Amino acid sequence: MSFLDHVLERPSYGWTDTSGALSVPSKRKLLGEFVSRLNVFSNRKNWLSFFSWFKVVALLPFFVFFVVFHFSWLFLLAGFLYSMVLMGTHGTIWHHRYCTHRAYVFSNRFWRFVTRNLSLKIIPEEIYVISHHVHHAKSDQPGDPYNASGGFLYCFLADVNHQPISRSLDEKDYNRVLGLMKHTGVRSNDFRQYQKWGSVARPSQTILHWVLNWGFWYGVFYLLGGHGLACALFGGAFFWAVGVRTFNYEGHAKGEKDKQRDGIDYNRHDNSINQLWPGYVAGEWHNNHHLYPSSARSGFLPYQLDLAWYYIRVLKLIGGVSSYKDSRKQFLERYHTPFVAGRRRTGGEV
């Protein structure tokens, strides 16, 4: 059994059914698993999942305060842009392209720190990173932690039900997990502490980081626009934190196999598709990304806006990033240019 086959905590309903096909649990089973894996009283190793959802729920009162006491259309727009564009793009820059795929290298710890804290801290790095390696290794196969064929809820609850690392890794495999996380700068548990807490992240430092990160940003937003702006942006973050959990289902075409379009979705090894909205607000051109996962740019065609790529480029210009990978040239040479030439030859639309 390879490392990626057992690095994630197996759900009680398993990854496969008895015939080896994807195990598709009922909604009731998915919700039951979700509740049991958030229960910190039954098992303290549930702490990181619990804390992650606690942060999501803690954002909701800010939205209520905003609507009840401070509502303004301008701040609502600010909240929308902050959550959709800034937080969306930040997720791509930090969790996806840096922490998981190492598509670029920071020149020093300062820029890594700035980038990590560029928006409200919500998603724990290890829950995103380790499971995302499994996602690429097993896209749309059993074991894919957010396999879209499992249905909407299978993906929506994945960060609790399917993405946390296994609690029963041996020391060798735990060290391999640390190897996948080392460059992120997350302070990690040693093996003995992992056996106690079931996570890479240390509880005390994780909580301190959250308090400082949210405190800092609330202070900045307050200075810019009072409690009204601060509550609008924190409230907007609630909708992002919920909405982002729908991406993996949509980004793999809701499990449907015939959604990839000629001239747009060149990767046909899985069900991933390029979509305009996640592309424009977060640089997530997901079909392109599955073709070239370690590229710091995913928007390869002229209309495929990629704000995350612009951030990485700006950091390179000012010295915050020392190097990056860019697969646009290979993409054009191997896929797009031959496709366009073929269409021209046959007189079809380009």
Question: Which residue's CB is nearer to Zn ion, number 78 or number 155?
Answer: 155
The window from 1-9, 102-110, 200-208, 292-300 that contacts Zn ion (CB under 5 A) reads 292-300
Grouping H, G, I as helix, E, B as strand and the rest as coil, residue 323 is: strand
The window from 58-66, 112-120, 238-246, 269-277 that contacts Zn ion (CB under 5 A) reads 269-277
**E-strand stretches of the chain:** 104-106, 321-324
Max CA distance (Å), the chain: 66
Please count the residues of this chain forming the interface with Zn ion, following the rule CB under 5 A.
2
Question: Which residue's CB is nearer to Zn ion, number 129 or number 165?
Answer: 129
Minimum Å gap between C-beta 139 and Zn ion is 6
Grouping H, G, I as helix, E, B as strand and the rest as coil, residue 22 is: strand
Minimum Å gap between C-beta 135 and Zn ion is 6
User: What count of residues does the chain have?
Assistant: 350
Task: Report the distance separating Cα 307 and Cα 93, nearest Å.
Answer: 9
Angle at 273 between CA 272 and CA 275, to 5 degrees: 140
Minimum Å gap between C-beta 249 and Zn ion is 10
Minimum Å gap between C-beta 284 and Zn ion is 9
Task: Write the CA distances from 328 to 48, 65, 104, 198, 335, integer angstroms.
Answer: 37, 45, 15, 39, 10
Site string for Zn ion, 214-253 (x = CB under 5 A): ----------------------------------------
Question: Which residue's CB is nearer to Zn ion, number 272 or number 274?
Answer: 272
Using alpha carbons, select from 179, 174, 182, 180 the residue that is nearest to residue 199.
174
Using alpha carbons, select from 199, 208, 207 the residue that is nearest to residue 130.
199
**Structure tokens that stand for 150 in this block:** 């499992």
Question: Which residue's CB is nearer to Zn ion, number 145 or number 293?
Answer: 293
Task: Report the distance separating Cα 271 and Cα 179, nearest Å.
Answer: 29
Minimum Å gap between C-beta 290 and Zn ion is 6
Minimum Å gap between C-beta 334 and Zn ion is 19
The window from 73-81, 123-131, 289-297, 324-332 that contacts Zn ion (CB under 5 A) reads 289-297
The window from 164-172, 185-193, 201-209, 265-273 that contacts Zn ion (CB under 5 A) reads 265-273
Minimum Å gap between C-beta 325 and Zn ion is 13
Question: Which residue's CB is nearer to Zn ion, number 29 or number 254?
Answer: 254
Q: State which of positions 82-121 bind Zn ion (CB under 5 A).
A: none
- Phi, psi dihedrals of residue 65, rounded to the nearest 5°: -60, -40
Residues in contact with Zn ion by the rule CB under 5 A: 272, 293
